[in-house]
Amino acid sequence: MGIEKIIEYYKNPKNRGTIKNPDAIGEGIGSCGDTMAFFMKVGKKKIDGKEVDYIKDIKFETMGCAVAVATASITTEMAKGKTIEEAKKITEADIVKEAGEIPEVKFHCIGLTLGTLRNVIANWENKKK
């Protein structure tokens, strides 16, 4: 498919924006200077009779390139609806699989996106303590 998927996610990103009164905010700065923030709302749901925390909503803002926008869109789509533990397991390979071709020189954008996801989750976990 090539880079067409990245361009589509850039032109029509999902989950771009902020959340009023988020349960947590996570931020990141890429090696290239791109900045990113994730805003997350957490809910509870029952799985196998056990109540677990899940990502009810997640949005992003970024001052970055097309790949940063696309990977943030992909990652928030993957994380939404997942339990916190499931979201922690999202990998670079998962993002690449969904994105299709990502130029190697832009792989740092995936690191920025995953780092921002980890930060928003860690900030939420720290608030719970």
Residues 63, 104: contact at Cβ < 8 Å?
Answer: no
Nearest one of 37, 71, 41 to 57, comparing CA atoms: 41
Selected catalytic residue, list 24, 78, 79, 109: 109
pTM of the model: 0.93
Average pLDDT, rounded, for the chain? 94
- The residues spanned by each domain of the chain are 4-128
Measured CA distances, 81 to 6, 40, 64, 84 (Å): 23, 11, 26, 9
Quick one: pLDDT band at residue 2, thresholds 50, 70, 90? low
Q: What is the tens place of the pLDDT at every residue in 54-72?
A: 999 999 999 999 999 999 9
65 in active site:
no
- The fraction of the chain above a pLDDT of 70, given in percent, is 98
Measured distance CA(74)–CA(47) in Å, rounded = 25
> What are the structure tokens assigned to 27, written together?
């931020």
Q: Of 2.30.29.30, 3.90.1010.10, 3.40.50.2300, 3.30.450.150, which CATH number belongs to 4-128? A: 3.90.1010.10
Q: Which of 3, 19, 29, 32 is catalytic?
A: 32
